[in-house]
Structure 1
Amino acid sequence: MAETIRRLSVVSTGGARLHTEVHGPDDRPTVLLVHGWACDTGFWRPLRDLLLPEHRVVVYDQRGHGRTPATPGACSPEALADDLCAVLAATVPAGARAVVAGHSMGAMTVVAAAGRPELRDLAAATLLCSTGVEGLTSASTVFPLPPGPARARAQRLLLTTRLPYGPVTPLSRQLVRYVTMGRAATAEQRRLVARMVARCPRPARAEWGRVLADLDLSAALTRLDLPTTVVHGTVDRLTPLVHARRTADRLPRLVELVELPDIGHMAPFEAPDRVVAPLIALVKEHLL
């Protein structure tokens, strides 16, 4: 049977038009997946394929990513939360709720929406993967420098530069692997991630990078009063494991902290089978 795909343009604040896709039958439990910085809906394909056809999977492109145009001057945690709430309202069937999973900036989106009535009413549980809520420049270990101002400045430059991350070459694939993935990542995984990151529009990537460099969602995290699982790779350089442990310690309703040995920042893409298991566990516990 051919996969059912419905494409929507969901309107959010500032006139943002979010490219949104609904995969699978409407009578299955809904899982909404929110991608991270410099990615797009294609990031979720390996995980989405494991969820279908037993789940209804919703994905959307964040502002300035993929097929969602940029909204200049509107990059903020509040805009991320607005967009997630708009997609929830547009895609969750009446009387139903969803499990919401975010990766990296997508997980920050979920935290930014904590306390919003749309999240409280339309989400049954959440999963936060490969993310942090504060101190993203100081904790990163991408650059082999001692902790301190020099390392933080280097990480800020990586986030905020408008220089291209391409073209995709054997060297750039190795650099992307080093920054975002574990040693076991396959050549095809490295190629696909390098292509995805390289095609992210540079102005939007830099504008969102400035938001991430100064992000502090620690207060919002304590308002995420939904059952929440935290998943994190142990060799994540962009958001090291310390972020996951801090997040888990502060969540009001932590379900579990799942640490994935030898997996990097792109955990749902590197090891989708190991991320989908705790996600399906949330669906079974809170939607079925």
Structure 2
Amino acid sequence: MPARAPGRARAPRLRGAYAPTAPARELTARSGDGTRIPVEVHGSDSAPAVVLAHGWTCSTAFWAPVVRTLTAGGLRVVTYDQRGHGRSPAAAAPYAYSTAMLADDLCAVLETALEPGERAVVGGHSMGGMTLMAAAGRRPLREHAAALLLCSTGARQLSAEARVIPLRSERARAAAHRLLLGAHTPLGPVTPLSRRALAYGTLGPRPRRETAEATARIVHACPTGTRAAWGGVLAELDLSAKVPLLDAPTAVVAGTADRLTPLPHARRLAALLPHCTGLHELPGRGHMTPLEEPDTVSAVLADLVRDHLRPEHPQAEDRTREASA
């Protein structure tokens, strides 16, 4: 396996169930353009693997509740910082950000964190799900992905179908959301007002205070330039032609109160996927489903491990069964 990368992740200050756990190992993946991508490995190297890609304005810290649940169930979890997020370096220029870059980075992580021929369940939330779509058909994803999870995500028309700014005109709504996605306005410190505003856009109608606080701290930690550059990519996104190329068994998870990628996105994905294992609609949940309902998201991932990864050793099979219980 590759050598340990120097340094430790700098995560936003989070508490309780949202506090990140220390990884067992840290690695560095080298992407197609030579950029070094920080990778965290949680759990035993002999355990079945789950690889997770976070969404826009987040970081590896976003997955903390899911990582804690899956590793307690005997699974290995690999997380990494998307380009410009967390410890991952920013692109050389805003115009360099693209869905191809997302795919390049994911493929590099898969080939760094997994042994040749080793298979894993690969999941992505929001822009992380779009990362899986962007990598559809690429050799590393085909070789390493035994099953996939698309969580709170969409393939196209993100600006037009979002409901954060509730304008009646689709054209006006799309224009307003494009401005919101590409805004260069600094978010500043977390305040009660900014926390409420962010909770309105990203969480269900009755979020727990701890969830709203964790969401705000994670999102506010994202650099303004990174947020704006990736927001511009998302505003014009169309990966619908890639979805049918995701031929591994794929589960879809969505919150029924998601304002950023409303439920029709998930239903379209489920219809386009060649092998959809199920659409899991979480009542009253918003866009940040792994933070709002981590036990359910973890259970879906553990079920994919149980059903589509065949451990070589009986002990690993027992751990897989425990994680899905």
With the shorter chain as reference, the TM-score category is: over 0.9
Distance across 2 between alignment mates of 1:131 and 1:165: 23
Equivalent of residue 267 in structure 1, options 273, 289, 312:
289
> Counterpart of 2:104?
82
Equivalent of residue 71 in structure 1, options 74, 84, 91:
91
**Structure 1 stretch displaced more, 81-90 or 93-102:** 93-102
Checking the alignment, whether the CA contact within 8 Å between 1:14 and 1:71 is kept in structure 2 is: no
CA offsets 1:216-272 (integer angstroms, 9 cap, x no match): 001111111110000000000000000000110110111100000000000001100
CA offsets 1:85-124 (integer angstroms, 9 cap, x no match): 0000001123420100000000000011000011010110
Correspondence 1:164 to 2:183: no
Matching of residues 109-120 of structure 1 within 5 Å: 109-120=131-142
**What is the identity, as a one-letter code, of the residue corresponding to 1:34?**
A
Matching of residues 189-268 of structure 1 within 5 Å: 189-268=211-290
Correspondence 1:18 to 2:37: yes
> Counterpart of 1:8?
27
**What is the identity, as a one-letter code, of the residue corresponding to 1:38?**
T
> Counterpart of 1:41?
60
**Structure 1 stretch displaced more, 71-80 or 257-266:** 71-80
Checking the alignment, whether the CA contact within 8 Å between 1:4 and 1:25 is kept in structure 2 is: no
**Secondary structure at 1:161 match in 2:** coil
> Counterpart of 2:308?
286
Correspondence 1:176 to 2:220: no
- Residue 10 of structure 1 deviates from its aligned partner by 1.1
Moved over 3 A (4+): none
> Counterpart of 1:57?
77
Equivalent of residue 167 in structure 2, options 121, 141, 145:
145
**Secondary structure at 2:55 match in 1:** coil
Distance across 1 between alignment mates of 2:29 and 2:165: 38
**Structure 1 stretch displaced more, 134-143 or 92-101:** 92-101
Checking the alignment, whether the CA contact within 8 Å between 1:3 and 1:24 is kept in structure 2 is: no
**Secondary structure at 2:39 match in 1:** strand
Checking the alignment, whether the CA contact within 8 Å between 2:205 and 2:257 is kept in structure 1 is: no
Distance across 2 between alignment mates of 1:107 and 1:87: 15
- Residue 3 of structure 1 deviates from its aligned partner by 6.7
- Residue 187 of structure 1 deviates from its aligned partner by 1.1
Distance across 2 between alignment mates of 1:22 and 1:63: 18
- Residue 183 of structure 1 deviates from its aligned partner by 2.5
- Quickly say closer, same or farther: Cα 1:180–1:4, change in 2 above 3 A: closer
CA offsets 1:111-158 (integer angstroms, 9 cap, x no match): 110000110101100000000000000000001211421111111111
Distance across 1 between alignment mates of 2:265 and 2:306: 27
> Counterpart of 1:277?
299
Distance across 2 between alignment mates of 1:140 and 1:183: 16
* Cα RMSD, aligned residues only: 1.2
User: Which 5+ residue runs of structure 2 have no aligned equivalent?
Assistant: 1-20, 311-325
> Counterpart of 2:319?
none
**Secondary structure at 1:283 match in 2:** helix
**Secondary structure at 1:269 match in 2:** helix
Correspondence 1:27 to 2:46: yes
- Residue 15 of structure 1 deviates from its aligned partner by 2.1
- Residue 4 of structure 1 deviates from its aligned partner by 5.6
Number of residue pairs the alignment of both structures matches: 287
**What is the identity, as a one-letter code, of the residue corresponding to 2:227?**
R
> Counterpart of 1:122?
144
Distance across 2 between alignment mates of 1:45 and 1:173: 20
Distance across 2 between alignment mates of 1:241 and 1:47: 22
- Residue 166 of structure 1 deviates from its aligned partner by 2.9
Checking the alignment, whether the CA contact within 8 Å between 1:227 and 1:254 is kept in structure 2 is: yes
User: Which 5+ residue runs of structure 1 have no aligned equivalent?
Assistant: none
Distance across 2 between alignment mates of 1:246 and 1:3: 37
Return the TM-score normalized by structure 2.
0.86
Checking the alignment, whether the CA contact within 8 Å between 1:134 and 1:216 is kept in structure 2 is: yes
Checking the alignment, whether the CA contact within 8 Å between 2:130 and 2:155 is kept in structure 1 is: yes
